[in-house]
Amino acid sequence: MRTGKKRKIVRLLGVGFDADDGHIRITQGDRHDVLMGSAESHEYLQQLIRRIEEKIESRGLSLEELDPDELSRLVGSVK
């Protein structure tokens, strides 16, 4: 029997919908997954997630510490 707090698992997920070449692209990181997409959009999503992770770290936070509104604002501020 488990007691105590439930462990919260938080990951970023990037999904590309523009693949028409038949390739299945999957990239897994420590706290993110990028699925599908064309080669170009898959690479773009990987870079975008890296920038999001860097911004979170630069604020001295972890992904688990952000509430959905904070994460949304942070993602919207990443170029």
Task: Tell me if 32 sits within 8 A of 50, measured CB to CB.
Answer: no
The more confidently predicted of residues 1 and 43 is: 43
Name the strand (E) or helix (H) holding 76. helix 68-77
Residues 33-71 have pLDDT tens digits of 999 999 999 999 999 999 999 999 999 999 999 999 999
Kindly list the domain boundaries of the chain, sorted by start residue.
Answer: 12-77
For the whole model, what pTM was predicted?
A: 0.82
